[in-house]
Amino acid sequence: MNADYKTNLALITNEAATGEAKTIFEATKTQLGFVPNMYQIMANSQGYLSTYIHGYKAFRQASGFTPQEQELVFLVISDKNGCEYCTAAHSMIADKVAKFDADTLANVRAGNPVSDPKLQALAVMTSRLFDTRGLITKMDAQNFLSAGYAEEQILEIILAISVKTLSNYANHIFHTDVDAAFKDYAVKT
């Protein structure tokens, strides 16, 4: 899904990046072998890119969620926001890094229940936080906590929603092309 409006801002290339964006690009290129198109659009506002990177790293490093749980959260949010770019990127990570089985990945991408009860509880809580804008019920929280999660992890999901809002919305207004690394996971429309 893309916005009706498409910004006229250009991608910031590796060569044109300056300041913190250049530092982020260099670290990303070392880690991934390329700088994702999404980072190149975000670099039009160094504060935007920096905020995204900081929140993303914090979620990855300190959320207390496993890699599978992290990808599930990111995929649920990206799907709900209609971000085809992030759905493709996180699907590739879910498959290649987090080692989702094919059924789980297909179900998460389709917004269907997953067979693992703990992952399903996480998907439901992520959806509830997203859909209610944080106005969850006592029952929502109890179901999440009963599945084995901690109350602090509710805040971590909100952090993930914030991070994905930054990336998903930027992709909507830029109509970001899916990078070659994620093409096999592109959303079929």
Q: What is the CATH topology of the domain spanning 19-176?
A: AhpD-like (1.20.1290)
Q: What is the mean pLDDT of residues 83-87?
A: 97
The pLDDT > 70 percentage for the chain reads: 99
pTM for the model stands at 0.95
Q: Where are the alpha helices (DSSP H) in the chain?
A: 19-32, 37-42, 46-62, 67-81, 84-96, 102-110, 117-132, 138-146, 152-174
Query: 26 and 51 in contact (C-beta within 8 Å)?
Result: no
Asked whether residue 1 carries a pLDDT value surpassing 90, the answer given is: no
Write out pLDDT tens, residues 23-72.
999 999 999 999 999 999 999 999 999 999 999 999 999 999 999 999 99
Matching residue, tokens 């703990």: 118
Write out pLDDT tens, residues 139-159.
999 999 999 999 999 999 999
Asked whether residue 88 carries a pLDDT value surpassing 80, the answer given is: yes
Euclidean distance between CA atoms 63 and 48, whole angstroms: 21
